[in-house]
């Protein structure tokens, strides 16, 4: 992720002002960490990649939710470290929306997100399919097969001015 020098400096200042237990701390401090900390995290990432390889010796794919909630209010005018979502009545960091998606990306696994219907109020729901490293074609085939049996995606409302 790249940012202007000014934006990065603002992120560093915001990260320094947060305690480690603040809901926004993990993501903001991760974006501004020292190289030594990054090197340790990279070593952990490689170990995790090996654990995923072990998992996929016995499983073809993994199906997860795409996010812990249905679609949420965009809140783009709110700085990212101040955004939040509500899960089961509990206020949580907006970055928790990425918890399921983050299973695959950091370790380089292919994944596909498919629409999977909608809530009773019409908000879209989705699933994620994760496959072993370099299994992109097999994952696409699995997604095509699942798409045939999943509910038809909700049609977004049309807004008029």
110 part of a folded domain: yes
pLDDT, residue 69, reads 77
Joined tokens for residue 111:
């994944």
Joined tokens for residue 73:
């209010």
pTM of the predicted structure, to 2 decimals: 0.71
Q: Averaged over 41-57, what is the pLDDT?
A: 95
43 part of a folded domain: no
116 part of a folded domain: yes
pLDDT, residue 138, reads 95
57 part of a folded domain: yes
pLDDT, residue 148, reads 93
Q: Averaged over 113-123, what is the pLDDT?
A: 86
Q: How many domains does the chain have?
A: 1
Between residues 38 and 81, which one has the greater pLDDT? 38
Residue 106 above 70 pLDDT?
A: yes
76 part of a folded domain: yes
Cβ density class 75-114: b for 16+ within 10 Å, e for less: eeeeebbebbbeeeeeebbbbbbeebbebbeebebbbbbb
Residue 134 above 70 pLDDT?
A: yes
108: left (phi over 0), alpha (psi -120 to 50) or beta: left
| Mean of the per-residue pLDDT values of the chain | 85
Tokens 């070593």: give the residue: 43
Residue 1 above 60 pLDDT?
A: no
36 part of a folded domain: no
Residue 68 above 60 pLDDT?
A: yes
Which residues constitute the domain of residue 139? 51-149
26 part of a folded domain: no
3-state secondary structure at position 130 = strand
List of residues 6+ apart from 129 with CB closer than 8 A: 61, 62, 63, 111, 112, 113, 114, 139, 142, 143, 146
Cα(112)–Cα(145) distance, integer angstroms:
13
Among 2-6, 114-118, 121-125, top mean pLDDT goes to 114-118
Q: Averaged over 65-86, what is the pLDDT?
A: 71
60: which DSSP letter?
S
pLDDT, residue 64, reads 94
Residue 160 above 70 pLDDT?
A: no
Percent of the chain topping pLDDT 70: 87
β 111-118/124-130 pair status: antiparallel
Confidence band for 77, pLDDT divided at 50, 70 and 90: low
């Amino acid at each position: 992720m790249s940012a202007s020098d000014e934006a990065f400096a603002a992120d560093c200042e915001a990260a320094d002002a947060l305690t480690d237990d603040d809901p926004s701390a993990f993501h903001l401090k991760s974006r501004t960490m020292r190289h030594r900390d990054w090197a340790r995290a990279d070593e952990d990432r490689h170990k995790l990649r090996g654990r995923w390889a072990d998992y996929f010796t016995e499983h073809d794919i993994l199906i997860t939710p795409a996010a812990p909630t249905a679609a949420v209010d965009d809140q783009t005018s709110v700085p990212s470290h101040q955004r939040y979502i509500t899960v089961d009545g509990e206020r949580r960091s907006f970055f928790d929306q990425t918890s399921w998606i983050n299973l695959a990306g950091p370790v380089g696994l292919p994944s596909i997100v498919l629409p999977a219907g909608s809530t009773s109020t019409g908000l879209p729901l989705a699933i994620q399919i994760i496959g072993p490293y370099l299994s992109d074609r097999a994952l696409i085939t699995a997604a095509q097969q699942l798409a045939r049996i999943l509910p038809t995606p909700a049609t977004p409302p049309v807004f008029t001015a």
